Amino acid sequence: MRSIKLANLTKSKHGSLIIPKVNLTIPAGKFFALLGPSGCGKTTLLRLIAGLEDTEEGQIYLGDEDITHIPINQRPINMVFQSYALFPHLDVFDNIAYSLKLKKLPKLVIEQKVFKILESFHLVDHIHKLPSQLSGGQQQRVALARAIVSEPDVLLLDEPLAALDFKLRERMLIELIELQDKLKTTFVYVTHDQFEALTVADQMAIMNHDGTIEQIGTPKEIYEFPISSFVAKFVGTTNIFSGQLRNIHSDPEITIPDLGTFKVYLSQKKPWVVEGHEVSMSIRPEKIFITKKEVKNFSNHMKGTVQSIVYHGRSTQYNVNLKNGMRIQVFEQNEEHFPAEVVDYDNEVNLYWQKENVVILER
Q: Is 102 in the site for other proteins (CB under 8 A)?
A: yes
Residue among 73, 250, 268, 297 that touches other proteins (CB under 8 A): 73
Question: Of the candidates 44, 68, 99, 282, which one interacts with other proteins according to CB under 8 A?
Answer: 99
> Of 16, 103, 166, 335, which lies in the binding site for other proteins, with binding defined by CB under 8 A?
103
Q: Which of 78/138 has CB closer to other proteins? A: 78
Which range binds other proteins by CB under 8 A, 68-76, 111-119, 220-228, 242-250?
68-76
- Asked whether position 105 contacts other proteins by CB under 8 A, the answer is no
Binding mask 202-231 for other proteins (x = CB under 8 A): ------------------------------
What is the bridge-based pairing of β-strands 203-207 and 213-217? antiparallel
CB-based burial label for 25 (10 Å; 0-12, 13-18, 19+): middle
Partners of 348 in the β-ladder: 305
CA distance linking residue 350 with residue 302, whole number of Å: 6
130 makes contact with other proteins (CB under 8 A)? no
With binding defined as CB under 8 A, does residue 43 bind other proteins?
A: no
Edge-to-edge strand list for the sheet holding 31-35: 77-80, 154-158, 186-191, 31-35, 203-207, 213-217
Which range of residues in 1-9, 75-83, 163-171, 320-328 is near other proteins by CB under 8 A? 75-83
Least spacing, CB of residue 43 vs other proteins, in Å: 12
Q: Residue 106, interface with other proteins (CB under 8 A)? A: no
Beta-sheet strand order (sheet of 253-256): 260-263, 253-256, 239-246, 278-283, 358-362
Contacting residue, 23, 87, 136, 209, with other proteins by CB under 8 A: 87
**Structural contact between residues 6 and 60, judged by C-beta atoms closer than 8 angstroms:** yes
Least distance (Å) from other proteins to the CB of residue 36? 21
Footprint on this chain of other proteins (rule: CB under 8 A): 50-52, 72-74, 77-79, 81, 83, 85-89, 98-99, 102-103, 146-147, 150
